[in-house]
Chain A
Amino acid sequence: MSSFISFTIFGLVSGAAYAIAASGLVLTYTTTRVFNIAHGAFGMVLAFVFWDFSERQGLPLWFSLVLVLLVVAPAAGWFVSRFVTKGLGEAPVSSSLVVTVGLFVGLIGLAQQIWPPEARFVPPFFPETSFQLGDTFVTAHQLITILSSIVVAVLLYVLLNRTRIGTAMRASVDNPELLKLFGGRPERVASLSWAIGISLAGLGGVLLVSVVGLDYYALTLLVINAYAAAMLGRLKSLPLTFVGAMGLGLLTSYASAYLPTEGLLNSVRNVVPALFLFAVIIILPQAQLRIGQVKGIVSAPLPSLGKAVGWGLGLLAFVGLLAGSSSQANLLLVGTAATYAIVMLSLVLLTGYGGHVSLAQLTFAGVGALAYAKLEQPNLYGLVLSALIAAAVGGLVALPVLRLTGLYLALSTLAFASIMDKMIFQADFAFGFNGTLPAGRLSILGNAITSTGGYVFAMSVFLVLVAWGLLLLRRGVLGRMLIAMRDSPAACGTLGLDMRWFRVGLFGMSAGIAGLAGALFAGLRGTIGSADFQSFNSLPLLLLAVVFGVTSVTGAVLGGTGLMLLPVLSSGDPQLGGLLFALIGFGAVFAGRDPNGLANLIFRGGHLIESRVAPQVMSRLPDLPGRGRRRADGDSPGDGSVEVPLSQLTHEPVPAGNEKEVGAHVAARG
């Protein structure tokens, strides 16, 4: 019985910390419509800052705490709202997700850069003090955590209901334009809520760090717990968020106490938050189609068929040359690049054409690899079957969120990745705990490809085939429908398209392509393990895809090469790894608003690049949305692609409600 009570206390304490972090997440989301995936990453960095102040620099504990929570965190929040997420609330969900994923990765890189890996320890508050409660003890730290959550709840209530600025926060949720007419300043409101939100992330991080340990990933991924809790309150109700957090805390605690320590159920304890998140998402009510949000999105130009064939053959010839002349190690790198490029092609389909974001693309590749290794059929049949299995799994992930859209789909992929990572891939029937599986090289029509060079060439053949397939699809019926669905779901519905199954199909197809890449990769490496498909790595993959251009095949090929080069570049100097992460992350923060990426710049050719650099630099300046009305001058006729950055389209003020003078979206072209 006493153990039950102590587990309950432990659960309530974790719940209290989750509640603090989650309420910060809800606050920023409701006031600015930007879902901060990097919320946990901020908590992690702030916990490091706290360690730095209190342990490394030896400042008094209370002073470090005040510095972190009342100076560093609010400053960071203000900076982010002012320079990173401003105006992002009106952008498509995919843009705001990519930008905050950029922050997520960037912050992890930053932390690794500033605080290189070493053993660090943050002691709990008042480690010597504890109180007896019946048969169990409550430490002072635990008590402080619970009290903090109560204080946070009360303060938030008072702020939102008893002060003018708090009232303005709620008002700006309703109608920021009207708030301006009242003389209020929605931007200030947004800055305040980000300052408070990040501060709460920091408090959550500092309270949890003595339990979880000072680790780049463990603290960052606690954000899933915060999501899950916040999701119970549908990302808007703070009381329900607190309930969700406490429930999740208890559930996690009981799971670790009472689940058997053997078998699959043992690993369930690691994924309770992710399962909780799934469960909550499934019970969320149907989302209704939104109307009046039409945005034409400017995409990278589609190459003509001749061009596509030419470039594809060129790429094959290039790889063929490499295959003949390179060392084994370099060939493996080329093969890896091809793998990543195929995975990125799956993102071109899903994100570039379809407008959805997946944070688990590498996990789908892992599913493909696992299937390939388990099937032990190193031939085309095994390859295709592996891709189909990955596709089926992808469809299964999309199925529960059939009725929901954008953000929830992305979050459920994150939860899925986490479940696969900690539970399925580690299980005995899969790779085994930290284990690997052998995988044979592919044989095509009975001819085994044993040489690495030949295999890499075969991989690039698949890459080119997938790329051609995508371009054909984009030109055909399905491609047009994908674009139509991205532009106006409501119109597609009223024209008779059942988008729910279409979306499941899209997700499945994208996962299938990733699975194909994974299966090919398994054959390349010969042995394959869960470490090759860590869920976190899906994030830099997504970011590089966006930075290089997620709307074009070229962007995917370049992005794949870039992602392959990352570990190569950082292998010489481990320090560089963090820096590169930071660069990619923060690069994506700025590039995230234009999914056409670097590839589109290349398309524009030499002299056009010059005319592009200036506006590009301009668009990175702080008051980005204010420039929404600037027209791009380089209106290239004919190919239907106008090089207006996405932000310009999405920030165009849409005439209100019953405006009849003009239509809602006539302003898209320069």
Chain B
Amino acid sequence: MSVPILEVIDLTAAYGRIEVLRGVNLAVPKGAVMALLGPNGAGKSTLTKVICGQKKATGGDIHLGGVNVRNASPEELARLGLCTVPEGRSVFPNLTVQENLTLMSYAGVPAEAVLETAFSYFPRLLERRGQLAGTMSGGEQQMLAMSRALASDPALLLLDELSMGLAPLIVDELYDTVAQIAASGVSILCIEQFARTALRVSDYAAVMSGGRVVATGEPDEIMETMQDVILGGAA
């Protein structure tokens, strides 16, 4: 393994006086898919926010492709090749599908190429190109969100709770897409509260609890050894 695409070193972050990340260490190897698991309140979402630049760290370092990017702004990181799909609504509901796709070209790939890739992967989006994104079903909205990951050829794809609020069938389809993206060589960090789906497509898994990464390893080992932590109630 060469230099990891993402390396998080002793990262801390807090909301006010409440410390949420208490020294996170994590490395995502180039070309690998890593699942980050853990119960509600373990600090997964906060870690995502810090990595993608939405929240400032209070200590520690983040390296993206060997470059220290701690405290870079989200838009800089996006232009550097970090593609973040945040939890919840990650499309612009009052823009049409096509307009959403046009905006994805900020990450560096021309708009025409983005449209072409998105429509070839998801023909359904082509049918609905003129429709407002907010009026589509949750699954279709996530397809649209995933188009950004597909079309922008990112250095690292950061997926936060992809399955949130979606029907299992659709979650399966989405994870098939994730697998496809992974097959094309993109490194992926995939944050999920519910372990099984994510583990299906990952090469490695890490478990967070209480603001730290408490275990890393192959998906099978993690599933066996970390059952309690993953499945435990809210911290």
CB contact between A661 and one of B20, B74, B86, B95 (< 8 Å): that residue? B20
Stretch at the interface among A176-184, A391-399, A492-500: A176-184
Within residues 67 to 109 of chain B, which ones have a CB less than 8 A from any CB in chain A?
73-75, 78-79, 84, 86-95, 99, 102-108
- Chain A neighbourhood of B90, CB < 8 A: 178, 181
Within residues 197 to 227 of chain B, which ones have a CB less than 8 A from any CB in chain A?
none
Q: Are B111 and A164 in contact (CB under 8 A)?
A: yes
Q: Are A666 and B17 in contact (CB under 8 A)?
A: yes
Asked if A175 is at the interface of the complex by the 8 Å CB criterion, the answer is yes
Stretch at the interface among B4-12, B52-60, B172-180, B183-191: B52-60
- Chain B neighbourhood of A174, CB < 8 A: 92-95
Asked if A80 is at the interface of the complex by the 8 Å CB criterion, the answer is no
- Chain A neighbourhood of B87, CB < 8 A: 656-658
CA of A180 to CA of B41, assembled, Å: 25
Q: Are A182 and B104 in contact (CB under 8 A)?
A: yes
Q: Are A669 and B54 in contact (CB under 8 A)?
A: no
Asked if B234 is at the interface of the complex by the 8 Å CB criterion, the answer is yes
| CB-CB under 8 A for A182 and B148, given A164-B103, A173-B94 | yes
Within residues 153 to 184 of chain A, which ones have a CB less than 8 A from any CB in chain B?
164, 167-168, 170-171, 173-175, 177-184
| CB-CB under 8 A for A660 and B234, given A170-B94, A175-B89 | yes
Q: Are B95 and A178 in contact (CB under 8 A)?
A: no
- Chain A neighbourhood of B105, CB < 8 A: 164
CB contact between B18 and one of A183, A659, A662 (< 8 Å): that residue? A662
Nearest B residue to A668 via CB reads: B16
- Chain A neighbourhood of B88, CB < 8 A: 656-658
- Give B145 Cβ to nearest chain A Cβ, in Å: 10
Q: Are A655 and B92 in contact (CB under 8 A)?
A: no
Nearest B residue to A181 via CB reads: B84
CA of A657 to CA of B161, assembled, Å: 13
CB contact between A167 and one of B16, B56, B103 (< 8 Å): that residue? B103
- Give B74 Cβ to nearest chain A Cβ, in Å: 4
CB contact between A669 and one of B16, B74, B91, B106 (< 8 Å): that residue? B16
- Chain A neighbourhood of B74, CB < 8 A: 177, 180-181
Asked if B45 is at the interface of the complex by the 8 Å CB criterion, the answer is yes
CA of A179 to CA of B73, assembled, Å: 12
- Chain B neighbourhood of A659, CB < 8 A: 45
- Chain A neighbourhood of B53, CB < 8 A: 180
Asked if A651 is at the interface of the complex by the 8 Å CB criterion, the answer is no
Asked if A653 is at the interface of the complex by the 8 Å CB criterion, the answer is yes
CA of A171 to CA of B74, assembled, Å: 16
CA of A124 to CA of B14, assembled, Å: 61
- Give B141 Cβ to nearest chain A Cβ, in Å: 12
Asked if A667 is at the interface of the complex by the 8 Å CB criterion, the answer is yes
Q: Are A661 and B41 in contact (CB under 8 A)?
A: yes
Asked if B43 is at the interface of the complex by the 8 Å CB criterion, the answer is yes
- Give B115 Cβ to nearest chain A Cβ, in Å: 12
CA of A183 to CA of B77, assembled, Å: 8
Q: Are A180 and B103 in contact (CB under 8 A)?
A: no
Q: Are A164 and B107 in contact (CB under 8 A)?
A: no
Asked if B163 is at the interface of the complex by the 8 Å CB criterion, the answer is no
CB contact between A178 and one of B17, B92, B99 (< 8 Å): that residue? B92
- Chain B neighbourhood of A185, CB < 8 A: 75
Q: Are B86 and A178 in contact (CB under 8 A)?
A: yes
The secondary structure that dominates the B interface is loop
Q: Are A655 and B111 in contact (CB under 8 A)?
A: no
Per-position contact with B for A180-200: 1 when CB-CB < 8 Å, else 0? 111111000000000000000
Asked if A629 is at the interface of the complex by the 8 Å CB criterion, the answer is yes
The secondary structure that dominates the A interface is loop
Q: Are A662 and B15 in contact (CB under 8 A)?
A: yes
Asked if B40 is at the interface of the complex by the 8 Å CB criterion, the answer is yes
- Give B57 Cβ to nearest chain A Cβ, in Å: 11
Q: Are B56 and A629 in contact (CB under 8 A)?
A: yes
Q: Are A171 and B45 in contact (CB under 8 A)?
A: no
Nearest B residue to A186 via CB reads: B75
Q: Are A170 and B18 in contact (CB under 8 A)?
A: no
Asked if B142 is at the interface of the complex by the 8 Å CB criterion, the answer is no
Q: Are A181 and B86 in contact (CB under 8 A)?
A: yes
Nearest B residue to A172 via CB reads: B92
CA of A168 to CA of B102, assembled, Å: 9
Q: Are B52 and A179 in contact (CB under 8 A)?
A: no
CA of A661 to CA of B49, assembled, Å: 12
CB contact between B75 and one of A175, A180, A663, A666 (< 8 Å): that residue? A180
- Chain A neighbourhood of B75, CB < 8 A: 180, 183-185
- Chain B neighbourhood of A660, CB < 8 A: 40-41, 234
| CB-CB under 8 A for A184 and B103, given A170-B95, A178-B86 | yes
Q: Are A180 and B94 in contact (CB under 8 A)?
A: no
- Chain A neighbourhood of B20, CB < 8 A: 661-662
CA of A181 to CA of B107, assembled, Å: 9
Per-position contact with B for A90-126: 1 when CB-CB < 8 Å, else 0? 0000000000000000000000000000000000000
Per-position contact with A for B15-51: 1 when CB-CB < 8 Å, else 0? 1111010000000000000000000111101100000
Q: Are A656 and B86 in contact (CB under 8 A)?
A: yes
CA of A179 to CA of B45, assembled, Å: 18
CA of A662 to CA of B73, assembled, Å: 22
| CB-CB under 8 A for A168 and B86, given A666-B16, A669-B17 | no
CA of A657 to CA of B107, assembled, Å: 25
- Chain B neighbourhood of A181, CB < 8 A: 52, 54, 74, 78, 84, 86, 90
- Chain A neighbourhood of B84, CB < 8 A: 181
Best-buried of A167, A181, A668 by chain B (most CB within 10 Å): A181
- Chain B neighbourhood of A655, CB < 8 A: 15, 45
- Chain A neighbourhood of B164, CB < 8 A: 658
Within residues 96 to 135 of chain B, which ones have a CB less than 8 A from any CB in chain A?
99, 102-108, 111
- Chain B neighbourhood of A658, CB < 8 A: 87-88, 164
- Give A234 Cβ to nearest chain B Cβ, in Å: 14
- Give A650 Cβ to nearest chain B Cβ, in Å: 14
- Give A644 Cβ to nearest chain B Cβ, in Å: 11
- Chain B neighbourhood of A657, CB < 8 A: 87-88
CB contact between A171 and one of B41, B92, B108, B148 (< 8 Å): that residue? B92
CA of A171 to CA of B40, assembled, Å: 30
Within residues 613 to 670 of chain A, which ones have a CB less than 8 A from any CB in chain B?
629, 653, 655-663, 666-669
Q: Are B45 and A661 in contact (CB under 8 A)?
A: yes
Q: Are A168 and B15 in contact (CB under 8 A)?
A: no
Best-buried of A629, A653, A661 by chain B (most CB within 10 Å): A661
Q: Are B107 and A183 in contact (CB under 8 A)?
A: yes
Q: Are B54 and A653 in contact (CB under 8 A)?
A: yes
Q: Are B55 and A667 in contact (CB under 8 A)?
A: no
- Chain A neighbourhood of B111, CB < 8 A: 164
CA of A531 to CA of B111, assembled, Å: 61
- Chain A neighbourhood of B56, CB < 8 A: 629
CA of A164 to CA of B105, assembled, Å: 9
Q: Are A175 and B52 in contact (CB under 8 A)?
A: no
- Give B206 Cβ to nearest chain A Cβ, in Å: 17
Q: Are B78 and A180 in contact (CB under 8 A)?
A: yes
- Chain B neighbourhood of A669, CB < 8 A: 16-17
CB contact between B78 and one of A171, A182, A666 (< 8 Å): that residue? A182
Chain A residues within CB distance 8 Å of chain B: 164, 167-168, 170-171, 173-175, 177-185, 629, 653, 655-663, 666-669
Closest 6 CB pairs of A and B: A667-B16, A183-B106, A183-B78, A180-B74, A662-B15, A666-B16
Chain B residues within CB distance 8 Å of chain A: 15-18, 20, 40-43, 45-46, 52-56, 73-75, 78-79, 84, 86-95, 99, 102-108, 111, 148, 164, 234
- A–B pairs, 26, beta carbons within 8 Å: A164-B102, A164-B111, A168-B103, A170-B99, A171-B99, A171-B103, A174-B95, A175-B89, A175-B92, A177-B74, A178-B91, A179-B92, A180-B53, A181-B52, A181-B54, A181-B86, A182-B107, A183-B75, A183-B78, A183-B106, A653-B54, A655-B45, A656-B87, A656-B88, A661-B42, A661-B45
| Other contacts beyond A182-B106, A661-B45: 9, CB < 8 A | A164-B102, A171-B99, A171-B103, A177-B54, A180-B73, A181-B90, A184-B106, A667-B15, A669-B16
